[in-house]
Structure 1
Amino acid sequence: MAAPDQIPGQEFDYEALPSNYGLGRNMLAGAFAGIAEHSVMYPVDLLKTRMQILNPSTGGLYTGLTNAVSTIYRIEGWRTLWKGVSSVIVGAGPAHAVYFGTYEIVKEMAGGNVDDGHHPLAAAMSGASATIASDALMNPFDVMKQRMQVHGSVHKTLAQCAKTLYRTEGLQAFYVSYPTTLCMTVPFTATQFVAYESISKVMNPKQDYDPFTHCIAGGLAGAFAAGITTPLDVVKTLLQTRGLAESEEVRSARGLFNAAAIIKRQFGWSGFLRGMRPRIISTMPSTAICWTSYEMAKAYFKELRD
């Protein structure tokens, strides 16, 4: 997509948020990016969840990523890889709209669009603020998604899962993992945004619309951030699926530190790296898709405006 016509002698700053651009269009771009990202990469996300379960039921124990795929296909069928996708489709659109809307607002307020220079602090602040706002909306959908993903789950629909979860465990079940989620996603997002902005500045110093740059920068940033936050993702998975665990100790997990202690006691330090490969494998293309979709939507809206 070509960049809008430039004023002679003035460089078109693609990354900047114009004052007349409008929050609504950023949120629409974000919603488009979120749905695209989660829908395409959902099967790998399901594999990651399955491999992070501490005490899986019979048929849900896998020796690796390839074994997980073949076992699920043989026993449950291909459709199982998409079980629970309705949760992310319903939740990802609004959550990512809030995510990118907050990102652009905070980035502008923090001075990230002042000039063509590199502003890592502004990028980190906008990323952290964006994830705090969006996770408050997305966390219940993430809990339901993982409840539907685990092997042997009795939940067939999003509505049935929500009703059962509320009736058996109360409202707190939807947010028991929220503090842990923030402990993971705030550094993840801050790291990802700083890495994305940094790689983009190097690869595309003019900040023109360039799908190749957005894709590569997004993928590398996501892979790096995913690797260093995997331990917290394992803790989050334990808390979000505790109601389905066969172990009484896991079912009684109360929060971040208690869940971490259970993982350390049962599996040692290696337990915090469970599912790292599928997490990186899923995050790298998903962040590439997310950033590319978002930047494409932004460029489209800017062309319409001009």
Structure 2
Amino acid sequence: MPHQSVLLHLVAGGCGGTVGAIVTCPLEVVKTRLQASPLSLRTICFREVNLHAVNGGSFSRPARVSATGVLEVLRNILQKEGHRSLFRGLGPTVIGVAPTRAIYFGAYSCAKEICNSHLEPETKAVHMLSASFAGFVSITMTNPIWLVKTRLQLDESRGRQRQTSTLHCVRNIFQTEGMRGFYRGMSASYVGISETVIKFVIYEELKQRLNGRGQGLTPPLQSLAGIAPQQQQINFLALMLAAGVSKTCASIIAYPHEVIRTRLRQKGSRYKTLVQTTRLVYQQEGLRAFYRGLQAQMIRQIPNTAIMMTTYELIVHIAGKV
């Protein structure tokens, strides 16, 4: 792919991330609720009722049994909090996704250019180093935004008690926890860089194989614009498939860090550090707890990543032809 300015990658990455985040926001809320819940996906929930015995005494027994899964969490949110709650945290998402993706893709592009000049170009080592650096930079700069988003998504209050604005949440965090409160969960996010590394390694490999020339996506996208030779044509859906496959593999492998990060970001949480949280969740809830919300994550992230990556590549291509 021809050299592009850093500004172009910033804009393309920001636009792609924004579009994908808005479309999939309801599933993000469901996923966050599941990650923070102490219940497993199939844990029995009891609501006790008092029953009078023959001798005048009383005892309690469960009134109903239910399983907490994606559909039930979605139904509970709609029934108890209304449809607007499915977009809770969208404000910080819209504010944060553009600079986060922009910083990420800009850093990735710069790091990749530097690595290509010192190492064998377009190798897996180049992709891994570039993705790691980009992840570290974007996490460090934008963690406060995502902490606020998580707090809003976990807020189940209604009416006047509800945190109605992002600014109210920010003010509350600052007053009760100080500046350090905005960086809770950042250690787990650093661990999550492994997901990004795996995703980009697979994505770049699939992209090169689909292109057939190992030179990026310029020839395939030229065919979509009608300015490339017939033999260079590639179905646009194939690009989305490459992004989806890469994200699926990476998410399954690295997903536990998301559960740990959500627990660390909870208000008034008993979870303090990365190691302590990992040990506590494992001891009290078992190994399955680290994959709570994975179903919602899969449903959300596959289309989200596909939209993000294809939007990014398309904008880069179009801008390069202007």
Give the AA of the match of 1:166. F
1:169 to 1:266, Cα distance in 2 relative to 1, 3 A: same
1:173 alignment counterpart? 181
Taking only aligned residues, the RMSD between alpha carbons, in angstroms, comes to 2.3
Give the AA of the match of 1:257. V
SS of the residue aligned with 1:111? helix
1:202 alignment counterpart? 209
Q: Does 1:131 align with 2:135?
A: yes
Match of 2:190 among 166, 182, 185: 182
Give CA-to-partner distance per residue, 1:235-279, whole Å, 9 cap, x none.
Answer: 000001142xxxxxxx23211011111211220111111111111
Q: Is the 8 A contact 1:219 1:287 kept in 2?
A: yes
1:138 to 1:62, Cα distance in 2 relative to 1, 3 A: farther
Q: Is the 8 A contact 2:29 2:86 kept in 1?
A: yes
2:75 alignment counterpart? 70
Q: Does 1:235 align with 2:260?
A: yes
Structure 1 length-normalised TM: 0.85
1:3 alignment counterpart? none
Structure 2 length-normalised TM: 0.81
Q: Is the 8 A contact 1:91 1:137 kept in 2?
A: no
C-alpha distance in 1 between matches for 2:114 and 2:210: 25
Match of 2:109 among 88, 93, 104: 104
1:7 alignment counterpart? none
Q: Does 1:26 align with 2:9?
A: yes
1:259 alignment counterpart? 277
- Structure 2 unaligned segments of length 5 or more: list them: 40-45, 48-65, 222-233
C-alpha distance in 2 between matches for 1:205 and 1:24: 28
1:62 to 1:106, Cα distance in 2 relative to 1, 3 A: farther
Q: Is the 8 A contact 1:92 1:138 kept in 2?
A: no
1:135 to 1:26, Cα distance in 2 relative to 1, 3 A: same
> How far has the Cα of 1:68 moved from its partner?
1.4
Give the AA of the match of 1:277. Q
1:283 to 1:141, Cα distance in 2 relative to 1, 3 A: same
1:295 alignment counterpart? 313
Q: Is the 8 A contact 2:151 2:267 kept in 1?
A: no
Q: Is the 8 A contact 1:17 1:104 kept in 2?
A: no
SS of the residue aligned with 2:163? coil
Q: Is the 8 A contact 2:248 2:298 kept in 1?
A: yes
> How far has the Cα of 1:127 moved from its partner?
0.9
1:225 alignment counterpart? 250
Q: Is the 8 A contact 1:204 1:213 kept in 2?
A: no
Task: Report 1:77-96 matches (<5 A).
Answer: 77-96=82-101
SS of the residue aligned with 1:143? helix
C-alpha distance in 1 between matches for 2:31 and 2:114: 37
Give the AA of the match of 2:301. T
Q: Is the 8 A contact 2:88 2:153 kept in 1?
A: yes
Task: Report 1:264-283 matches (<5 A).
Answer: 264-283=282-301
Q: Is the 8 A contact 1:239 1:253 kept in 2?
A: yes
C-alpha distance in 2 between matches for 1:289 and 1:112: 30
Give the AA of the match of 2:14. A
Q: Does 1:46 align with 2:53?
A: no
C-alpha distance in 2 between matches for 1:66 and 1:267: 22
> How far has the Cα of 1:113 moved from its partner?
11
Task: Report 1:112-131 matches (<5 A).
Answer: 119-131=123-135
> How far has the Cα of 1:137 moved from its partner?
2.2
Give the AA of the match of 1:76. E
Query: Stretches of 4+ moved more than 4 A in 1?
Result: 112-115
SS of the residue aligned with 1:110? helix
> How far has the Cα of 1:45 moved from its partner?
0.8
> How far has the Cα of 1:111 moved from its partner?
1.1
Q: Is the 8 A contact 2:107 2:137 kept in 1?
A: yes
How many residue pairs end up in the alignment?
Answer: 277
Larger Rg, first or second structure (1 or 2): 2
C-alpha distance in 1 between matches for 2:302 and 2:155: 25
1:212 to 1:111, Cα distance in 2 relative to 1, 3 A: same
Give CA-to-partner distance per residue, 1:38-72, whole Å, 9 cap, x none.
Answer: 1111111111000111348x99x961111111221
1:155 alignment counterpart? 163
- Structure 1 unaligned segments of length 5 or more: list them: 1-15, 244-250
C-alpha distance in 2 between matches for 1:120 and 1:290: 22
Moved more, 273-282 or 82-91: 273-282
